[in-house]
Amino acid sequence: MKKLLLRADDLGYSEGVNYGIAKSVKEGLIGSVGVMTNMPATVHGLNLLKDTKVCFGQHTNICVGKPLTDPSLIPSITNEKGEFKSSKEYRQAKEDFVVLEEVIIEIEAQYKKFVELVGEQPHYFEGHAVSSTNFFKGLEIVAEKYGLKYSGMSFGGEAIKISNKDVYVSMDSMMPNYDPFEALKNMIENAEDEGYYMFICHPGYLDGYILKNSSLTMPRPMEVDMLCDPNTRKWIEEVAVELITYDDL
C-alpha cells in the first residue's frame, strides 16, 4: 500500500495561517505540522492545536521576522533593522552568504524555543523557504547533535532519506495554475506501491501580515478547502492510500 504523509508548514507565520492549519488538522487530513518558533503568532497557533494529536516538527525559519539570537551575533542572515534577510535576498544572491557558524546559533536557539513551547523535542526537523548549502548543513549538524529526525530538501524529484526510508516529496504550491487536488492526485497516480510519499502544503487564511510578507497567498486557502473536502478523503480511501505522519517513518 502507498504511504502518504500530508505536511502543513508555517504554523506561527500569522494568525490567519494558524486558523487555516488548525482547520486542516481538526476537520481535514493534516497530521504533521511545522512550527516557526521565532514568530509572534506561534503561541496562538499552538493553542489552537492544543488538544489534537498532531505530529509537531520544527520548521526552522531564517527569512521572516526577527531572530531569537542577538542579531549582532548573526550578521550574515540579518539586516540593519535586526530582522532576517528576506527570502528574495537569498534567491537573488549569486553565492551562499550564510555563515555556517552563525546559522547554527540561530537554528539551535529555535530548537530550544520549540522544546520550551511544545514541551518535547520536535518529531521532525527541517527548514523554511531558503535554499542555502550552509543552512542545510547547519540543520543537519543540529539534528545530529540532538538526535532529531532530519527531513531534507528534495531537488529534481529525487527521494530524500528519513530514518533510512526513501521518501518522495511534492511541493507544487508555487507553480502557475496550481490546483491542490490535481497536484495530489498526480503524485499518487504516478507513485509506486509500497512507496513513501510526502505532499507539502501551506494551508492558511489570508490576513494583512501574510499579504505583506509572503509571496504565497491564494494557494493557502485553496489547500485548506482541498484538505477539508470530504471528497478528498473519499478519494484517498478509494485508491487505497495509507495516511501517515513523521512518527511512522
What is the Cα–Cα distance from 21 to 30, expressed in whole angstroms?
Answer: 8
How far are the Cα atoms of 7, 49, 237 from residue 241, in angstroms, in the given order?
A: 15, 25, 6
pLDDT of residue 156: 72
Please tell me the chain's helix, strand, coil percentages from 3-state DSSP, rounded to the nearest 5: 40, 20, 40
Angle at 214 between CA 48 and CA 110, to 5 degrees: 55
pLDDT of residue 157: 75
pLDDT along the chain (249 residues), means of 10: 97 98 98 98 98 97 98 98 96 96 98 98 96 96 98 85 95 94 96 94 98 96 98 97 97
Q: Which of 227, 226, 171, 160 is nearest to 196 (CA)?
A: 160
pLDDT digits (tens, 9 = 90+) for 117-143: 999 999 999 999 999 999 999 999 999
Domains of the chain: 2-248 (3.20.20.370)
Q: What is the DSSP string of 178-236?
A: --HHHHHHHHHHTPPTT-EEEEEE------HHHHHH-S--THHHHHHHHHH-HHHHHHH
Angle at 62 between CA 80 and CA 218, to 5 degrees: 105
> CB atoms < 10 A from the CB of 110, how many?
23
Angle at 9 between CA 213 and CA 240, to 5 degrees: 145
Q: Which residues pair with 32 in a beta bridge?
A: 7, 55
Model-level pTM?
A: 0.97
